[in-house]
Amino acid sequence: MALKLKKLTGLVTLQDKGRLSAQHLGFSTAGACDENAFLSANQDLQNAENIAALEFFILGKTVIEFTQAAIIILTGADASAHVNDKAVSHWQPLLIKAGDILKLQRPIQGKVTYLSILGGYKLPLWLGSSSQSINEEHINQTLPLLKEGDLIHFAQDAKLEELIKQFAALNNNKKTNLNFPLSDWRRFYDWQNKSNTPHLTIRFIPSPLFFALPLRQQNNFLQQTFTINPQSNRMGYRLIGTESLILNADLTQQKSGKLSKPVTLGTIQIPNDGQPIVLMKDRQTIGGYPVIGSVIQLDLFRLSQCHSETRISFAMTHLNFAQTQLKNFYQRFLPKT
């Protein structure tokens, strides 16, 4: 009971919500970078919330063969999915038969796609999570990093007849299908954008250092548009602005300190070249660069889907707003009675 990764392009890993309680040992949290897509997948399959999915980050031509029948779903960026050369929809459950071949391609809109299975994959749990962390493979307690020819086994063994019934039930139960069809990609990922050029404004909670910067520097930062360095990855997104943010050393020392400290998801670091780095799920636990704030988590899910041509700008917000947004977001995924 498995799927076979016949052809892979780009980075493919298994991800759940991540390893949240081992940071004190130096473990990166890992975890799905687009939680909107990840959680939607599990919700639509009526899976438990934290069932690991296959995450395709920087997706290219991909071919997957199913050795057994399964109910699957593809969420995130539209990868032009075809099953046996017939186009299928994203963001809704699909019934797959034994021997079916799924083909994916590089998305035009968005960058990260998730493939979830009803019941999940059969995976080792390591320090509370099945997420694969690229930098920690040698510790050898999660599955080895995926390559062509690998089989990923399903946790559940189900006959086609049972699956047909389950599939019918999923489709009938419209209540669970809260998530929008693909044409509404704009509603979550592109929600502020009124133009045809990809653009995302990301809200951040400024740090004490940011508030201490001369107003001219603050305004400069807020008025700039950035692009994303194509070398950006799951550890961090490097942004390229037209003007570097050169920080006064004394001010930085006073307000941010020079000693390395633990860094949250979304931390905006300013290294020596003055170009911001936004830390993502595979970030190291401790960082030494000056910190000017932290991007709100909801906007990180959006940011993870941005191509390098997307124009990024920053807007200030505060903790209350960030928590309210995130709370409302997570509420969509609570089990409904």
Partner 1 sequence: MLNQAAELIFESGIKLSLPNESGCLLTWPEKICPQQHSQIIHLQAQIQSDIQSKVIKGLFDVVVSYNSLMIYYDFLQLSTINLVDYLKPQINALSREKSFPQDSSNIIKIPVCYHESLAWDLKEVATRLSLSCDEVISAHQEGLYHAYALGFTPGFCYLGTLPSKLELPRRATPRTQVPAGAVAIAEKQTAVYPSPSPGGWHIIGQTPIALYEVSEHSFTPKIPVGCQVQFEAISLTEYQSLLSQLSEGKSGMGK
Chain contacts with partner 1 (rule: CB under 8 A): 20-27, 127, 135-136, 138-141, 205-208, 210-211, 253, 257-262, 264-267, 284-286, 291, 293-294, 296-297, 318-320, 322-323, 326-327, 330
Residue 154, CA distances (Å) to 118, 168, 170 in order: 9, 20, 19
Cα separation, 48 vs 335, in Å, equals: 9
* C-alpha 268 chain-centroid distance: 17
Instruction: Give me Rg for the CA atoms of the chain.
Output: 21
Q: How far is the CB of 154 from partner 1 (least distance, A)?
A: 22
Q: Kindly state the helix (H) or strand (E) to which residue 115 belongs, with its residue range.
A: strand 112-117
DSSP, residue by residue, 276-331: -EEE-TT--SEE-S-EEEEE-HHHHHHHHT--TT-EEEEEE--HHHHHHHHHHHHH
Burial of 265 (0-12, 13-18, 19+ CB in 10 A): middle
Closest Cα to residue 122, out of 98, 155, 80, 86? 155
> Which of 200, 296 has the CB closer to partner 1?
296
> Which of 186, 318 has the CB closer to partner 1?
318
| Structure token digits, residue 1 | 């009971």
> Which of 127, 146 has the CB closer to partner 1?
127
Which residue stretches of 148-277 are H helix? Answer: 160-172, 185-189, 208-212, 215-223, 249-255
Q: How far is the CB of 330 from partner 1 (least distance, A)?
A: 7
Q: How far is the CB of 263 from partner 1 (least distance, A)?
A: 8
Burial of 16 (0-12, 13-18, 19+ CB in 10 A): buried
Q: How far is the CB of 298 from partner 1 (least distance, A)?
A: 9
> Which of 116, 130 has the CB closer to partner 1?
130
Sheet strand arrangement including 86-87: 86-87, 82-83, 101-104, 62-66, 2-7, 151-153
> Which of 107, 276 has the CB closer to partner 1?
276
> Which of 276, 293 has the CB closer to partner 1?
293
Task: Collect all residues with Cβ–Cβ distance below 8 Å to 115 and sequence separation of at least 6.
Answer: 53, 54, 56, 64, 72, 73, 74, 102
Q: How far is the CB of 296 from partner 1 (least distance, A)?
A: 7
Angle at CA 144, nearest 5°, toward 139 and 148? 160
Q: How far is the CB of 222 from partner 1 (least distance, A)?
A: 15
> Which of 91, 126 has the CB closer to partner 1?
126
> Which of 248, 253 has the CB closer to partner 1?
253
Q: How far is the CB of 29 from partner 1 (least distance, A)?
A: 9
Q: How far is the CB of 129 from partner 1 (least distance, A)?
A: 12
